[in-house]
Amino acid sequence: MKRKLFITGVAGAIILGGAIGVGAVSSEPAISFEKAKEAAVNQVNGTIESIELEEDDGLLKYDIEVNGSDRGDDKEVEVDATSGKVMNVEDDRDDDDRDDRVNKQVNISHEKAINIALKSVPGKVTEAELDDDGYYEIEVQHNNQEVELKVDADSGKILGKEID
């Protein structure tokens, strides 16, 4: 009887330990793209250029590029995808590219472009970036596949869809 109890207790401890371990390495963010963008803009005044969900040394985080209101005042903001706290802010100046780029106003926001993409391909957005050519590149995880959509930044029309 004691042996059965001991074996049951050990098995339970192994199962519980495995469940805790799986929860600790979850690849699902606790906060949404919108909450991460809000945290970045609250930290650095400007407009979101791109946002990407990535795992770095076991830590799930959002890398967010923010175009500052002043020319050359671009920042990269890292937001913890579990807590929503800003982890790091650094200058994001790529002088060769940024000096030639013209800050162009677009009709479609990041949020609207993401919603358009998700209506076309339901899933989890892993990256959304405004390209210099006037469209958003949005990557969506759908049925264990990565789908890249191009959404026109002025009209909202889907210009292309590529499945990896």
Coil/strand/helix, residue 2: helix
Paired strand residues for 114: none
User: What is the per-residue pLDDT across 25-57, written as a single tens digit (0 to 9) for each?
Assistant: 456 788 888 898 888 888 888 888 888 888 888
Model confidence at 159, in pLDDT bands (50, 70, 90)? very high
What tokens does 45 get?
Answer: 């005044």
* Cα gap 15→9, rounded to integer Å: 10
Sequence-ordered alpha helix ranges (H) in 25-160:
33-43, 95-100, 110-120
Give pLDDT, residue 133.
Answer: 85
Report field, pTM of the whole predicted structure over 0.75:
no
User: What is the per-residue pLDDT across 62-109, written as a single tens digit (0 to 9) for each?
Assistant: 998 888 766 567 888 899 999 999 898 888 765 444 434 444 678 888
Give pLDDT, residue 73.
Answer: 72
Across the beta sheet with 46-56, the strand order is 86-91, 75-80, 59-68, 46-56, 124-130, 135-142, 145-152, 158-163
